[in-house]
Chain A
Amino acid sequence: MIGFVRSVRLWFVPGEVRREGTTPDYRFSLANERTFLAWLRTALALIGGGFAVDQFLPDLSRGWRVGLALALLAAGVLCALRAVNHWARCERAMRRGEDLPVSRFPALLSLVVAVVAVVMVVVVLVGWEG
């Protein structure tokens, strides 16, 4: 938890990052920025998926529809938060010359997406209308 609070401080206090270590080659920083943007796009895609479930599966019972949509929206929120956190941690690691942080998040996210996809296929095929 303390680590998380420190990370959040890191997002909003730019001087804090810049004070540590040495400035890496700007190309590495830009690559880190693009990775961050790719994760933001993933988050936006999940949010768009939430809207799409709500809009394009009208035959589904309300509970399933809203449940799936909210699950996708929540995944989008997590993904956006993780994007900025990972960006800040990578930036700090590059400045300090440490190894880049490892993360379980990509594996977790793929599992969640796979489960949601399977649930959607089953729900649409069986056509549970509650």
Chain B
Amino acid sequence: MTGADAAPADRDPGLQPERTRLAWRRTTLSGTVVAVLAGKTALHDGATTVSVLAAALCCALWLAFLRIAHGRITTLAAAHRPRDLTPRHAAAAALCTLALAVCGAFLVR
């Protein structure tokens, strides 16, 4: 039962990696809502070339965000002491959000 003895000392009392993982999930979910609203906007106002392109781009951006989030979640789960988020990943996640808003500007007409 050495594992049981060692576990309390090793355990992260705040469950920080778990909470961070869930935060990534929540954020992906928010992105999903935005992508669905973008699709609705594109279809509602009569699909033009621009609106279809913008909506497709929104879906692609959502997929990109999903990929970033999944990569990060995998990293968090893999290590006992998870590595920090890299600035590149943070910037990529923020740029996906930004690009969603830019697509939105083309959809809102």
- Point out residues on A near B: beta carbons under 8 Å: 10-14, 17, 23, 26-27, 29-31, 33-34, 36-38, 40-41, 43-45, 47-48, 50-52, 54-55, 66, 69-70, 73-74, 76-77, 80-81, 83-84, 87-88, 91
Contact B17 A51 (CB under 8 A): no
CB distance from B58 to the nearest CB of A (A): 10
With a CB–CB cut-off of 8 A, which chain A residues contact B33? 44, 48
With a CB–CB cut-off of 8 A, which chain A residues contact B49? none
Is B66 on the interface with A (CB-CB < 8 A)? no
With a CB–CB cut-off of 8 A, which chain A residues contact B19? 30, 34
Contact B16 A80 (CB under 8 A): no
Q: Return the CB mask of B76-94 against A: 1 if under 8 Å, else 0.
A: 0000011011111011011
Tally of B interface residues using CB under 8 Å: 41
CB distance from B38 to the nearest CB of A (A): 6
CB distance from A113 to the nearest CB of B (A): 16
With a CB–CB cut-off of 8 A, which chain A residues contact B85? 29, 33, 36, 87
Docked pose: A10 CA to B23 CA in angstroms? 23
Docked pose: A88 CA to B86 CA in angstroms? 10
Contact B97 A37 (CB under 8 A): no
With a CB–CB cut-off of 8 A, which chain A residues contact B59? none
Q: A14-B88, A26-B84 are in contact. Are A73 and B40 (CB under 8 A)?
A: no
Contact A81 B98 (CB under 8 A): yes
Can you list the 10 inter-chain pairs with the closest CB atoms, starting with the nearest? A51-B37, A84-B94, A11-B91, A80-B97, A44-B30, A69-B108, A37-B23, A30-B16, A54-B108, A14-B86
- Taking A14-B86, A33-B90, A37-B23 as known contacts, 17 extra A-B pairs with beta carbons closer than 8 A to each other, sorted by chain A number, are A11-B91, A12-B88, A17-B87, A26-B84, A27-B12, A27-B14, A36-B90, A44-B97, A47-B101, A48-B37, A50-B108, A51-B104, A54-B108, A55-B41, A76-B104, A80-B98, A84-B91
Nearest B-chain residue to A36, judged by Cβ: B90
Docked pose: A29 CA to B90 CA in angstroms? 13
Contact A76 B101 (CB under 8 A): yes
Identify B30's interface contact among A11, A30, A45, CB under 8 A. A45
Q: A10-B87, A27-B14, A40-B94 are in contact. Are A77 and B101 (CB under 8 A)?
A: yes
